[in-house]
Structure 1
Amino acid sequence: MGTFVNNAWYVAAWGNEVRRELLPRTLLGQQILLYRKENGEAVALVDRCPHKLAPLSLGELKGDSVQCGYHGLTFDCSGTCIRVPGQRNIPTEAQVRAFPVMEKYNAIWVWMGDPEQADTTAIIDVPHYGDPGWGLVDGQYLHFKSNYLNITDNLVDPAHTSYVHKNTIGNAAGEEVGVKVEQSDSHVLAYRWINDAPQVPLVERMGKLAGNVDRWQYYYLHLPSISYVDFGCIPVGTEPTEANKDRGFRSFSFNFLTPETESTTHYFWLHLRNYHPDDPQASDDVARLMNQTFEEDATLLEFIQREQERTGVREYARIAIDNAPLRIRRQIERLQSKEQSAEAAAMDCEAETAIR
């Protein structure tokens, strides 16, 4: 059994990537074709002609439809075949799967599972998106050579920042500070406060606060694979209310993980901040420093992925900081089991109908 959860919204691309041209992309092991209709709406189809299985992305757009580049079969944006050159009848099997699509937060979201369950309100809320006084960096992308669950392990692990990200968001002050964990049916949260500690390099560089600070790290993982990090600091001894945190140094990082294959992952990210919100140079610095941070993760996780594949083992020992990752993996297994039960029930229903 693979590790994917199908019934979820996944970011397939940033909005500016999808144009009036054919864009192929692999999502959850499936070949997907993305493009925009003449009215600007995004479309997602299986990137495979049902005739000889040629990639439709090697064809061309004809209005809002896609013409296969092999024999000219043409499919509209719902996946219905509307033309077979040289014949009038169209085989009933000449259909292409279309996926529900939603454009939000400058991203193209695709629902990979049962279309009847594609509830657009299930897309995560991004706090302060578009609000005055909050700077935005988006359109960011990295390609991880790792299974997405290794990345989710990493993204609910505040402890690793003290060692892996010493030049950006971590320092030695957090080495002995434990991590607390909470969960619900839809997310897992790992968090900690590091009080009266030196500023980490990112905070120090941005120059909003002076001296030691009280720093927080709240790492949310919304199932199956959206990370939301609430990070910041306030002057030592300040009451940690939401209003005071908003007046301090605060950022919200969203990492939209979309599995490509069982060993590779699309990593889309955006970042909201309350420091120097209208300064283009600050945005450039944030993009550079955060990409440096994520690339440090990517390098380490690629080695981990290779060793897991070589040994067939995920880990030989567990320690306290594995609490949140373990909860996520159990939740993923629960979601997979639920999907498999639904699929089995649907197959039994179809079989009974056929017998009648």
Structure 2
Amino acid sequence: MSSFVRNAWYVAAWSREIGRQLTTRTILGENLVFWRREDGTPAVLVDRCPHKLAPLSLGTLVGDDLQCGYHGMTFNGSGQCVRIPGQAAIPPSASARTFALAERYGAVWIWMGDPALADAARIVEVRRHGEPGWALVDGQYLHFDCNYLNITDNLVDPAHTTYVHKGTIGNAAAEDVGVKVEQDDDHVLAYRWVNDSEPVPLVQAMGSFTGPVDRWQYYHLHLPSVSCVDFGSIAAGREHSEEEMDAGLRSFSYNFLTPETETTTHYFWLHLRNYHVDSAEAGAQVARLMTDTFLEDAAILARVQREQERTGVREFVRLAIDNAPARIRRLIARQQAQEAEQAAA
């Protein structure tokens, strides 16, 4: 059974990736082809001509339309065939499937499910995006060789940072600090404060603290697969309030997971910070540090995926730190069941 949720917004590409050239990407197991119309709006079709199933991406753009490179059938951005060379009549079945698109936060989003439910207002809000006093690193992409749910497990698991990310965002001070979990219908939050501790390497490099700090990690997961990690530090003993957190060293790291197949995932990410906001050098350093951090995750999760496939088992034992991942998987299963019921109806 597929692990995908279709009635959801996924990042298909960064806006700069889609232009007047044909761009391909596999999303939720579907091969897709993207381009921009002459007015700049994005378009997408299943990358498959309905005639002989030749990839439409082998064709060419004719104005706003896509001409198949095999027999010249031409499709508009709505998937309708508008021309068949040498044939006036166009069969009703001569169409290619399309999907709803939206553009926000410098990304093109795609809705792979019921188009009647594709409300762009449901795209997750990116906090602080475009606000004064916050610097942005965006346009980032990695490819993970694992199922997206293994990544969501990881992205609501503050405990692993002590061991996997000791060179960037973790240290030994957090080893025995418990994780609290909250949830609602489409959101799970795992969080903790590590108080009166030595700053982690990233905070040491970017901050100006002269003593111990109180560090927070708030791991938000918006179903099915948008993560926001609210991370930062304030001088030890300060009030744990939004105002103090904004006055300290703070960042919001957004991770947009788009399943490619059951065993591979597109990992788009952007990062907002309130420190060294005018420094291009600091932005480049943050991009390197965060990339290193995510590559550490990618390496261990690829090994996890391979062992799960080899054994046919996801885990032999469950720990207290698995509370948030277990909740996410239950909510995902519930969403899939609701989609199955709607499809049957």
Mapped to 2, the partners of 1:89 and 1:280 lie a distance apart of 58
What is residue 165 of structure 1 aligned with on the other side? 165
Residues 34-75 of structure 1 deviation map (CA, whole Å, 9 limit, x = unaligned): 110001101111111000111101101000000000000000
SS at structure 2 position matched to 1:127: coil
What is residue 315 of structure 1 aligned with on the other side? 315
How many residue pairs align between the two structures? 345
Q: CA deviation at 1:274?
A: 0.3
Mapped to 1, the partners of 2:213 and 2:56 lie a distance apart of 55
Mapped to 1, the partners of 2:273 and 2:259 lie a distance apart of 27
In structure 2, give the amino acid aligned to 1:291.
T
Mapped to 1, the partners of 2:7 and 2:82 lie a distance apart of 29
Q: CA deviation at 1:227?
A: 0.4
Mapped to 1, the partners of 2:68 and 2:107 lie a distance apart of 27
Mapped to 2, the partners of 1:300 and 1:127 lie a distance apart of 29
In structure 2, give the amino acid aligned to 1:11.
V
Alignment of 1:179-190 (within 5 A): 179-190=179-190
Mapped to 1, the partners of 2:336 and 2:207 lie a distance apart of 46
Mapped to 2, the partners of 1:132 and 1:117 lie a distance apart of 34
Mapped to 1, the partners of 2:209 and 2:56 lie a distance apart of 54
What is residue 281 of structure 2 aligned with on the other side? 281
Mapped to 2, the partners of 1:326 and 1:98 lie a distance apart of 34
What is residue 290 of structure 2 aligned with on the other side? 290
What is residue 212 of structure 1 aligned with on the other side? 212
What is residue 177 of structure 2 aligned with on the other side? 177
* TM-score relative to the length of structure 1: 0.96
What is residue 351 of structure 1 aligned with on the other side? none
Mapped to 2, the partners of 1:170 and 1:32 lie a distance apart of 39
In structure 1, give the amino acid aligned to 2:171.
N
SS at structure 2 position matched to 1:109: strand
* TM-score relative to the length of structure 2: 0.99
In structure 2, give the amino acid aligned to 1:92.
P
Residues 112-147 of structure 1 deviation map (CA, whole Å, 9 limit, x = unaligned): 000000010000111111111101000000000000
- Once superposed, which parts of structure 1, at least 4 consecutive aligned residues long, lie more than 3 Å away? none
SS at structure 2 position matched to 1:202: helix
What is residue 353 of structure 1 aligned with on the other side? none
Residues 214-254 of structure 1 deviation map (CA, whole Å, 9 limit, x = unaligned): 00000010000000000011111101111110000100000
C-alpha contact 1:218 1:230 (8 A) present in aligned 2: yes
What is residue 343 of structure 1 aligned with on the other side? 343
SS at structure 1 position matched to 2:301: helix
Mapped to 2, the partners of 1:331 and 1:209 lie a distance apart of 40
Alignment of 1:65-214 (within 5 A): 65-214=65-214
C-alpha contact 2:59 2:68 (8 A) present in aligned 1: yes
What is residue 59 of structure 1 aligned with on the other side? 59
Moved more, 257-266 or 28-37: 28-37
SS at structure 2 position matched to 1:258: strand
Q: CA deviation at 1:210?
A: 2.2
In structure 2, give the amino acid aligned to 1:113.
G
Mapped to 2, the partners of 1:280 and 1:210 lie a distance apart of 25
What is residue 301 of structure 1 aligned with on the other side? 301
C-alpha contact 2:190 2:219 (8 A) present in aligned 1: yes
What is residue 264 of structure 1 aligned with on the other side? 264
C-alpha contact 2:139 2:269 (8 A) present in aligned 1: yes
What is residue 18 of structure 2 aligned with on the other side? 18
SS at structure 1 position matched to 2:167: coil
Q: CA deviation at 1:338?
A: 0.2
What is residue 33 of structure 1 aligned with on the other side? 33
Q: CA deviation at 1:209?
A: 2.2
What is residue 226 of structure 2 aligned with on the other side? 226
Mapped to 2, the partners of 1:142 and 1:62 lie a distance apart of 32
Residues 130-181 of structure 1 deviation map (CA, whole Å, 9 limit, x = unaligned): 1111010000000000000000000000000000000000000000000000
What is residue 255 of structure 2 aligned with on the other side? 255
C-alpha contact 1:255 1:270 (8 A) present in aligned 2: yes
C-alpha contact 1:209 1:249 (8 A) present in aligned 2: no
Mapped to 1, the partners of 2:210 and 2:30 lie a distance apart of 50
Mapped to 2, the partners of 1:128 and 1:327 lie a distance apart of 27
Mapped to 2, the partners of 1:57 and 1:251 lie a distance apart of 39
What is residue 349 of structure 1 aligned with on the other side? none
C-alpha contact 2:207 2:249 (8 A) present in aligned 1: no
RMSD (Å) for aligned C-alpha atoms: 0.5
Mapped to 2, the partners of 1:181 and 1:297 lie a distance apart of 22
Instruction: Give unmatched runs, 5+ long, in structure 1.
Output: 346-356
What is residue 244 of structure 1 aligned with on the other side? 244
Mapped to 1, the partners of 2:5 and 2:210 lie a distance apart of 45
C-alpha contact 1:72 1:85 (8 A) present in aligned 2: yes
Q: CA deviation at 1:186?
A: 1.1
Identity over aligned residues, as a percent?
65
